[in-house]
A and B are shown apart, each in its own frame.
Chain A
Amino acid sequence: MAVELEKILRPIDHPAPPFPPKFMQLASGENMVVRQVGREEIPDLLPHVEPLIHVERDFYDIVSVRVYAELLGYYRHRVQDEYVLIAQINGELAAIVNGRFASKDVGVSYHTLALRRGLRVGAHAFAAKMEYHLDIVGQKEVLIVAESPIGFRRWMIEYQLEKRFDIAHELGGVPSWALTKELFNKARSTLVVGRRPVPPDELKKAQDKILPPSNPPKPPADLMAATRAMKDPTGTAILQQRWRLEHGEADGPEGKA
């Protein structure tokens, strides 16, 4: 009975061509490998996503908790036609991007999660994701939304996305934006980079083991930074809290907290 029910609950993926791995050089001079991962590697990713759920900064908390759910949904067959790409620097996990093929012609971008900040790590990974939809799978457009202002600048502004506000995006039902093949072609020369094939030793290093990020995003010292202002308008509590955090003292600057 359980098996019969699972047959009903488990969606059947449509065949899609694989994403051929590629690599690019970052501003740091390091090479970053972008490659597709299958279900078997999802358990290796989840431990690195979970801590970011508690990072209340730049919407890492919301994005991470959704990515965690999407990865788990993919792993346990609860999302149809999902794929996951990862970016690695010297084997270290640097970014996770994922999405879904909604139909033959339309893709849905889910998330871009940078585990190493700066250096356009997330931007390069996002561009690879778009390349997968539009060049490799051959879709006509990708529906996109952004949770964070950083994402809005990177996708909506840099790619000059078109509005598809009549379409509710799968992420939160918010109005969609679209990257068409035409827009992608315009951005290709400036925003889309990477070379193939990946040097065998670098690809092997990436495939051998997904190493944890050495400097992942961290929560701000004040865990309630974004909401604190309403509760503590004069800032007394935060100043005392930060004093204790940074000086390791039991007392605040003006005595007992």
Chain B
Amino acid sequence: MAKPTAPKGRRNMREVYVVGIGITSFSRLDYPISEIAAYPAMIALKDAGLSKIDHLYVANMGSGRVNGQTALASAVIDTLSLTPAGAETIENGPASGASAIKQGFMAVASGLHDVVMVTGAERMRETNNLEATDFVATLTHQIAEYIYGVTLPSLAGMFTRLYMEQYGVTSRHLAMVAVKNHDNAMLNPFAHLHQKITIEGILDGPEALTNNPYVAEPLRFFDLCPVSDGGACVILATKEVAKKTGRPLVRLAGVGQATDTHAVHERENPTDLLAVRRAAEQSFKMAGVKPSDVSVAELHDAFTILEIVESEEVGFFKKGQGHIALEKGETRIGGKIPINTSGGLKAKGHPVGATGIGQAHEIVTQLRGEARKRQVKDAKVGFTCNFGGFGNNVVCLTFIRED
């Protein structure tokens, strides 16, 4: 592991630790959105042994549109009876969760607050799948993409086609990602999909085309994440507070964020996810570690192709080699770099505003050694990539177990 060297801009920052975590099942939750956000927050408070916080950030993408609840942070802080702490909502598309964690990090690191709660929630299944797809599609470029009927699955389909042509990825590789992540989700009680699937059942068998129909060719049903409700929470605090909690010391050591063109077709090479590359570089540099130091990672696999490509862009594998590593089993639990041990967005689920926090929840669980049957042995460094838009706003986080 490289010797940690603080980037110039953070020399005077305080160190920030994750002292409490909580999560709901990612599923369909028939509760008000404020409760979906509050429930994991209560679990996180109990986990940390805290009863008060200085500030609350709530990550959410669409409660105003989908659930008719604006000013969500005000609702959540009151539901939790944590007034008069400050509270605000962070919206950054599907990267809202990690963006909110970044805001919490800055609040603690800067000395503004000592204890910050970051909770995220989304309730998408209140609407039907068509409306949910349309809701997410509103993050695309209004004039260049949305008005032509572009949706996230259609962008991902075109992206996949191009990636297959350039790098030799096949439908079998995509299916391998789905099977792996469904296997991992079977070990995660909070995962949305507890369904074991096989290559034969979704790709090779006589009924595979019905079991796994095309959605946005070449992407098929099992290449897409489900539409989920869910909430997740992390509590960030100073080292002093962290030591008092008695919980394992997990430091949020690196935060990186980068953007790219809003419209995908304006990128010089649409198969390059430059925002992922840059956000990961920043996060690793700030943490003082290299991609090869990472023990376990949660990558934003809203579509199976994204796990393969992000594993390359963040530096785990060379460009065009992600699917080869997948074939070798290097991304499985027990492999060289286990990816999406939680089941990922693919099988754990994707309540968009909560997803980035759900990823952090899994990494902290792994670094604490509390992941039970899906535990990665001796996990010390964890990494998350929360992918907003179609790669136009990406937040990467690096966590380090210290004791």
Which of A's residues lie within 8 Å of B, judged by CB?
24-30, 118-120, 124, 149, 153, 190-195, 215, 220, 225-226, 229, 234-235, 238-239, 242-243, 253-254
Which B177-214 residues have C-beta < 8 A from chain A? Answer: 193-198, 200-202, 205-213
Interface string of B32-46 (1 = CB under 8 A from A): 101100110010011
| B34 and A235 contacting across the interface, CB-CB below 8 Å | yes
- 20 residue pairs A–B, Cβ–Cβ below 8 Å: A24-B207, A27-B195, A27-B197, A27-B198, A27-B202, A27-B208, A27-B211, A27-B212, A28-B195, A29-B197, A119-B195, A119-B211, A193-B207, A193-B210, A195-B206, A235-B32, A239-B35, A239-B38, A239-B39, A239-B42
Cα distance, A253 to B35, chains bound together (Å): 15
Within 8 A of A (CB), among B1-54: 30-32, 34-35, 38-39, 42, 45-46
The number of residue pairs between A and B whose CB atoms lie closer than 8 Å in the complex comes to 79
CA distance A215 to B196 in the complex (A): 13
Asked whether A235 lies within 8 Å of B35 as measured between CB atoms, the reply is yes
Q: 19 new A-B pairs (CB below 8 Å) besides A119-B197, A190-B213, A194-B207? A: A25-B200, A26-B207, A27-B195, A28-B195, A29-B200, A118-B193, A119-B195, A120-B211, A153-B129, A190-B210, A195-B206, A215-B194, A225-B30, A225-B31, A235-B32, A238-B31, A239-B35, A242-B39, A253-B42
Would you call B201 and A29 a contact (CB within 8 A)?
A: yes
B105 is an interface residue with CB less than 8 A from chain A: no
Q: Which residues of B sit under 8 angstroms from A192, Cβ to Cβ?
A: 210
CB within 8 Å for A28 and B32 given contacts A118-B195, A149-B128, A239-B39: no
Interface string of B109-144 (1 = CB under 8 A from A): 000000000000000000011000000000000000
Residues of A contacting B42 in the complex (Cβ-Cβ under 8 angstroms)? 239, 243, 253
B206 and A235 form a contact (CB under 8 A): no
Question: Which residue of B31, B45, B211 contacts A26 across the interface (Cβ within 8 Å)?
Answer: B211
| Residue tally, chain B, CB below 8 Å to A | 33
Residue of B nearest to A23 (CB): B207
Task: Kindly list chain B residues whose C-beta atoms are within 8 Å of the C-beta of A193.
Answer: 206-207, 210
Determine which residue in A27, A215, A225 has the highest number of CB atoms from chain B within 10 A of its CB, and name it.
Answer: A27
Roughly how many angstroms separate A156 CA and B31 CA in the complex, as a whole number? 27
Q: Is the CB of B206 within 8 A of A229?
A: no
* Residue B222 at the chain A interface, CB threshold 8 Å: yes
- Which residues of chain A have C-beta atoms less than 8 A from B292's C-beta? none
Q: Which residues of B contact A220 (CB under 8 A)?
A: 30
Say whether B70 faces chain A, with CB atoms less than 8 Å apart: no
Instruction: Say whether B69 faces chain A, with CB atoms less than 8 Å apart.
Output: no
When distances are taken between beta carbons in the complex, the residues of chain B under 8 Å from A191 are 210
CB neighbours (8 Å) of A29 from chain B are: 197-198, 200-201, 205
